[in-house]
Structure 1
Amino acid sequence: MTKVACPWNRALESLGNSVELQHVNLRVPDQGKATAFYISALGLTRDPYLVVGIENMWANAGVSQFHLPTGPAQVLRGTTGLVLPDRAQLLHRLQTARRWLDGTRYGFEERDDHVAITCPWGNRIRAHAPDADRFGRIKLGMPYVEFDVAPGTLPGIVRFYQQIVQAPASIEDGVAKVLVAPGQHLTFRETDAQQPAFDGHHIQLAFVDFGGVHARLSERGLISQEDSQHQYRFIKIVDPDTGKLLFEVEHECRSMTHPLFMRKLVNRNPATTNQIYAPGAEAMAWAMPPE
């Protein structure tokens, strides 16, 4: 039989076991300021269907969300990366939002390849322009969540995600990268800076082999909470070779049979207002159009 030549690198399309980075969950003490920051300043979209009361907010960013329940402020020990489609409009919104957020930790600064933004309670965000070479076809979304970790922990973190989660993971340019969904990564960057104690914030992933990950975590005593038939949680990232604790962040783990798996999210076009309006221009596609 003649071997058919393949012109493509098929390995680039392999996802591994994690197939969804659905949300980052951070408590906020003030829903008004959270709206001013996540909706007015960043230009994200409040989910119109779920959690629409005053005690919580889900803010849509492409296929991912921020979950923002009311409570003592939580600060992610790292940085959330966003792709937002228009830098000039973003800067205008950020400047306008100062009127609501003065007196908080809110701030922003232009950098060469991103805008560095700090939320009213100290969470760091890097807002990038769409870039097919770096972020694929994402025009609006959350391409990565980056964590600040202690020196010497990257090899063990890579082993944890490779062996326990069974997600593709490697160290590239001094940063550990874990593929957790199409075009989305968890990244880990070593720092000498003293880190605050873990305050309970979480991220949410979905697994193909939901039961397999649970079994591997359970045999090491790492399951922290059993939520439902479709969901469990763990906090500790350990070196599978030694059991040494490397980092803590809560992972909300869902199955692909979870009722919310890959729920389609509404994303608005923040450039459309009642003053500048065109029929049919209210919605925004999260991905770049076909070439």
Structure 2
Amino acid sequence: MTKPKAGKYDRSAEDLGNVVALEHVNLGIADQGLGTVFYMSGLGLTRDPYMMTSIDNMWVNVGRSQFHLPTMAKAQRLRGRVGLVIPDREALLQRLGRVTGMLGDTRFAFVEHEDHVETTCPWGNRILCHAPSSRFEGMALGMAYVEFDVPAGTAQGIADFYREVFATGARVEGDAAHVAVGIGQELIFRESDAAAEAYDGHHIQLYVANFSGPHARLLERGLLTEESNQHQYRFQQITEPATCRTLFEIEHEIRSLRHPMYARPLVNRNPLQTNRAYVPGRDGWVPEPTRAEMDDPRVEMRRERFEEATRRAAG
């Protein structure tokens, strides 16, 4: 038997912190029709077919995560950006171009950058769309990060808060705190000198493995805002551990892995499928291989076949 070689693999790269998934971002919108045009027709995402199917709310699937978009008289604004991984940049740009006329009287816009396409929803929320890459740990479609603009001098305290309260990986790079919240997923808190917008109640939802530990630490600090049910609680203030000074506000909906909706399979459609160029069996979105598995050369062959099938489906 061959003796294993020490150091062949970086075993620490496989470690996960206590936060295991960023499940959804909740943003109130003013018009479900305009939301449908932007999120489904423009971005190419999928309305959840099973939950929130009326006209007062919609859940929009993006890989294993979601946007929750309830109707509100005044739309909510995230003080930062949401980063998505969306395959096929050219198809994305074509979709965004097609919806421009329907969203002409709104704040909708899109701009190409070297490594992403920056989009703005009808109410001013910025969503950055990236191609799949190693940066996102093999994610082919999903919500990779939520980035918040925070006051100058708060990044270190925010990183310390998540490490101490949630026992998850957090580091400071330059002017930003990066908090691990799932495989290929981060919360980013980037320092800014710009005047902060007033917080309007939008929220994010995280799943955590050790549910009671963060609860006890939040309770000790007087930060809990809601004891929702057996599987969920909420808090809003991120505080500096050493001084208890509030650094930033964003409501967190915290769920345990025993929550009935944890790992619920989400339907994701193939946005290239059309009635004019229909390909049987291609309604559902199938991820394109983004990295070789165990250096298997056959992955490249599968990728080429997928790309050819996609081109045929697009006509």
Q: TM-score range by the shorter chain?
A: over 0.9
Counterpart code for 1:131: S
The answer to whether 1:255 aligns with 2:256 is yes
Counterpart code for 2:202: H
Contact 2:137/2:183 (8 A) holds in 1: no
Q: Which residue in the other structure is 1:101 paired with?
A: 103
Contact 1:20/1:262 (8 A) holds in 2: no
Q: Which residue in the other structure is 1:56 paired with?
A: 57
Q: Which residue in the other structure is 1:23 paired with?
A: 24
Instruction: Name stretches of at least 5 consecutive residues in structure 2 with no aligned partner.
Output: 294-298, 300-315
CA-atom RMSD in angstroms = 1.4
1:1-291 matches, cutoff 5 A: 5-71=6-72, 72-132=74-134, 134-286=135-287, 288=289, 291=299
Rg bigger for which structure?
2
Counting matched residue pairs gives: 289
Counterpart code for 1:244: R
Percent identity over paired residues: 53
Which whole-Å CA distance do the structure 1 matches of 2:277 and 2:196 have between them?
A: 45
Q: 1:3 to 1:131 in 2, by over 3 A?
A: closer
Contact 1:62/1:286 (8 A) holds in 2: no
SS at 1:149 equivalent: strand
What TM-score do the two structures reach when normalised by structure 2?
0.89
Counterpart code for 1:155: Q
Counterpart code for 2:85: V
Counterpart code for 2:166: V
Q: CA deviation at 1:136?
A: 1.7
Contact 1:137/1:287 (8 A) holds in 2: no
Moved more, 6-15 or 231-240: 6-15
- Post-superposition Cα deviations, 1:187-214, rounded to whole Å, max 9, x if no partner, equal 1111111111110000000111111111
Counterpart code for 1:191: S
SS at 2:37 equivalent: helix
Contact 1:63/1:286 (8 A) holds in 2: no
Q: CA deviation at 1:173?
A: 3.7
**Structure of higher RCO (CA pairs closer than 8 Å, 6+ residues apart):** 1
Q: 1:94 to 1:3 in 2, by over 3 A?
A: closer
- Post-superposition Cα deviations, 1:203-260, rounded to whole Å, max 9, x if no partner, equal 0001111111110001111001111110010100000111010000010000000000
Q: CA deviation at 1:288?
A: 2.9
Q: 1:95 to 1:260 in 2, by over 3 A?
A: same
Q: 1:11 to 1:158 in 2, by over 3 A?
A: same
Q: CA deviation at 1:174?
A: 3.0
Q: Which residue in the other structure is 2:304 paired with?
A: none
Instruction: Name stretches of at least 5 consecutive residues in structure 1 with no aligned partner.
Output: none
Counterpart code for 1:225: E
- Post-superposition Cα deviations, 1:22-68, rounded to whole Å, max 9, x if no partner, equal 00000011000000011110000000111111111000000100000
- Post-superposition Cα deviations, 1:49-101, rounded to whole Å, max 9, x if no partner, equal 11111111000000100000111201111000011101111111111111211
Q: 1:3 to 1:117 in 2, by over 3 A?
A: closer
SS at 2:212 equivalent: helix
Q: 1:138 to 1:163 in 2, by over 3 A?
A: same
SS at 1:101 equivalent: coil
Q: 1:179 to 1:286 in 2, by over 3 A?
A: farther
Contact 1:81/1:127 (8 A) holds in 2: yes
Q: CA deviation at 1:286?
A: 4.6
Contact 1:108/1:117 (8 A) holds in 2: yes
Q: 4+ residue runs of structure 1 moved beyond 4 angstroms?
A: none
Which whole-Å CA distance do the structure 2 matches of 1:151 and 1:125 have between them?
A: 23
Which whole-Å CA distance do the structure 1 matches of 2:28 and 2:247 have between them?
A: 24
Which whole-Å CA distance do the structure 2 matches of 1:112 and 1:287 have between them?
A: 21
Q: 1:195 to 1:286 in 2, by over 3 A?
A: farther
